[in-house]
Structure 1
């Protein structure tokens, strides 16, 4: 039987590639076969900012936690009950694990499936408190409910040619798009995107795809701001001791935008030189600059358990959010895991028909699985790259 290797969390600041069991078509927690599942040979699997929260020690992830929820692969084995996905298919795996049978799945809320995590609604591969599913930063992985979850690419050769783009469909492209779409971005919108990490860049590119007139990206990292500029975004450097509404006004002529998206999450920092962590900063920023009766997308991650939180409230996910301002302005908010299946087919078609170059926007950078620890270190330093792991050397460079 083939072996398997996977990226594993060791301690804060440290991951390593370890040998783990080759996947089986089994549901370990339920002690029964998983006849609705498939085993994939992983073609591409990406390092995500959400993974970094764990690796920094900012979640309750235990030592030995397998990592990786952004997965694209080739089907090499199918369970008895899989009818439509076939061996040899190349597929994108939504990071949300969903059964397709529960009330939430039937209404399109696949990010909060009720049957795949005994602790709470919603599950994901290789993530703390998300159901115990084995991570996909590996050579091989098992995917349950395959007919429901998997997105098959229509042409294998074309898929391999565009793999650096298509691998973004498992998470950051739908997540960025969800942030923009749920914020109401449309033709002619002015938009503020907080954060120029990979999700923020994917969101900015999604805003352009949706027809925004002006997309402004805010960050404190010059390299990441330069990456946003590279595909036509306006930028604001939050290291400056200037008020955000004033910086917005210099670009669009008024201190407000039509829509705003928080692509930072709970490790947000304040503004200006020497700013320290202030986890409610972005949430309060976006409420301040969004027009009355506007909408705010919040794909940035917020947690209920943060051992490194700045105070006892923050350690429990309780932040100093100015909800009174949001109420007074009649703002609408959309939070939570992105329901990837709501968007991934349309976004696949946009990629395959050259309507967007998402890999270029996020600066997709392919490295072998063995270099994952260095990729995590570099990503943590703020490089403007989206690291794509290539376990089998199959991705066209």
Structure 2
């Protein structure tokens, strides 16, 4: 049997590509022992990775800002070709190319039946919800690899209807595993609709995906805020307005210059718990973006929060922040009757519709996020460049299947 290679966290600022065993159709020990279920997984498949992406959520671990242990395998943005099928898999066949939602779901529990696949009850004994290659998410192996096992395959996999068409648009379709649905979820739960004015905090890939999604939803003006000039330029490349938060100017004043009033109809936090204050060289202040959003969102507005917040951050600025307790002005949001939407995006709520937009040539998300392809052995360099602020979305191509 073939081996497997995967990207592994080696300590703050360091990843490596290491050899591990080829995947088996078995559930992780954490899940089996914690939930008392069978280890054999005839409902699973093995995928040969076509593409797998580096995510900002991975960077939180690699920076040492989570409780991830040394040796944690990485990668939850997975698109692959089915190469092995369990006996109980009925509707997925060898050779199918599929997108894998980053949230692992059983398809059987109350949450899955309600469409809340980001908080499945049967895939992680530590808490509701699981993901591939992520700390405290059930012990599932990461997908920045050559091969990966996907459980409950009939439920989790999104099969692309035509192999050749999928490979032609694979750089767009690879975004369906996470950042396109996540960005869309942020805009959608914020209430973005026809004619909305929208503020998106953060011009990383998720922020750019949220901004692009706001445009798909009909926003009249999308304003993206960041302190990285290259990333702001990327936002402008597909028609967004931008505000440079490194200037120290007031956010509300900058928004007023763009839309004629110091508020917007909807706001999206695509930054999360490593947020910084405004101004060049500003220190970390984890509540900044949420407080900004409540300040500039009009009364009655929605605030989508796809940005990650954690319950364990050993590198936090204070003891409260180390357990996810930050200084949010909840009274302000309460007084303005804001609706806040938090948590993992339930990818399956959006991925099929967004796939259809891509295949119909109506969505070009890879261009919006500036997708670039690298090899599996280039992953450590990709992590370094991404962490340094590159305005790129790194797509790993382990088997050379992406056309140049």
TM-score scaled to structure 2, two decimals? 0.98
In the other structure, the counterpart of 1:109 is 116
Q: For 2:342 and 2:124, how far apart are their aligned partners in 1?
A: 19
Which of 220, 242, 255 is 2:249 aligned to? 242
In the other structure, the counterpart of 2:19 is 19
Which of 320, 328, 333 is 1:326 aligned to? 333
Pairwise CA distance, 1:125: 0.1
Pairwise CA distance, 1:351: 0.4
Pairwise CA distance, 1:128: 0.2
Pairwise CA distance, 1:356: 1.2
Q: For 1:237 and 1:352, how far apart are their aligned partners in 2?
A: 34
Pairwise CA distance, 1:308: 0.3
Q: Would you say 1:151 and 2:153 are equivalent positions? A: no
Check the 8 A contact 2:28/2:139 in 1, yes or no. no
Which of 188, 191, 201 is 1:194 aligned to? 201
In the other structure, the counterpart of 2:229 is 222
Provide the secondary structure at the position in 2 that maps to 1:313.
Answer: helix
Q: Would you say 1:6 and 2:6 are equivalent positions? A: yes
In the other structure, the counterpart of 2:176 is 169
Q: For structure 1, list consecutive stretches of 5 or more residues without a partner in the other structure.
A: none
Pairwise CA distance, 1:32: 2.3
Q: Would you say 1:89 and 2:93 are equivalent positions? A: no
Pairwise CA distance, 1:3: 1.1
RMSD (Å), alpha carbons: 0.6
Pairwise CA distance, 1:260: 0.2
In the other structure, the counterpart of 2:274 is 267
TM-score scaled to structure 1, two decimals? 0.99
1:217-366 alignment runs, 5 A limit: 217-366=224-373
Q: For 2:356 and 2:216, how far apart are their aligned partners in 1?
A: 13
Deviations 1:140-189 (A, max 9, x none): 00000000000000000000000000000000000000000000001100
Q: For 1:383 and 1:229, how far apart are their aligned partners in 2?
A: 16
Provide the secondary structure at the position in 1 that maps to 2:188.
Answer: helix
Q: For 2:206 and 2:400, how far apart are their aligned partners in 1?
A: 25
Q: For 1:291 and 1:354, how far apart are their aligned partners in 2?
A: 34
In the other structure, the counterpart of 1:393 is 400
Q: For 1:115 and 1:245, how far apart are their aligned partners in 2?
A: 44
Deviations 1:90-111 (A, max 9, x none): 0000000000000000001000
Q: For 1:38 and 1:171, how far apart are their aligned partners in 2?
A: 20
Pairwise CA distance, 1:274: 2.2
Paired residues, number: 397
Hey, which bits of structure 1, 4+ residues long, moved more than 3 A?
none
Check the 8 A contact 2:28/2:140 in 1, yes or no. no
Q: Would you say 1:40 and 2:47 are equivalent positions? A: yes
Q: For 2:246 and 2:65, how far apart are their aligned partners in 1?
A: 24
Q: For 2:134 and 2:39, how far apart are their aligned partners in 1?
A: 22
In the other structure, the counterpart of 1:383 is 390
Q: For 1:200 and 1:241, how far apart are their aligned partners in 2?
A: 20
Q: For 1:371 and 1:241, how far apart are their aligned partners in 2?
A: 36
Q: For 1:380 and 1:36, how far apart are their aligned partners in 2?
A: 37
Q: For 1:274 and 1:309, how far apart are their aligned partners in 2?
A: 17
Q: For 2:162 and 2:197, how far apart are their aligned partners in 1?
A: 37
Q: For 2:186 and 2:28, how far apart are their aligned partners in 1?
A: 34
In the other structure, the counterpart of 2:35 is none
Q: Would you say 1:119 and 2:126 are equivalent positions? A: yes
Provide the secondary structure at the position in 2 that maps to 1:371.
Answer: helix
Which of 366, 371, 388 is 2:378 aligned to? 371
Pairwise CA distance, 1:214: 0.1
Deviations 1:98-130 (A, max 9, x none): 000000000010000000001110000000000
Provide the secondary structure at the position in 2 that maps to 1:239.
Answer: helix
Which deviates the most, 360-369 or 22-31? 22-31
In the other structure, the counterpart of 2:79 is 72
Which deviates the most, 365-374 or 269-278? 269-278
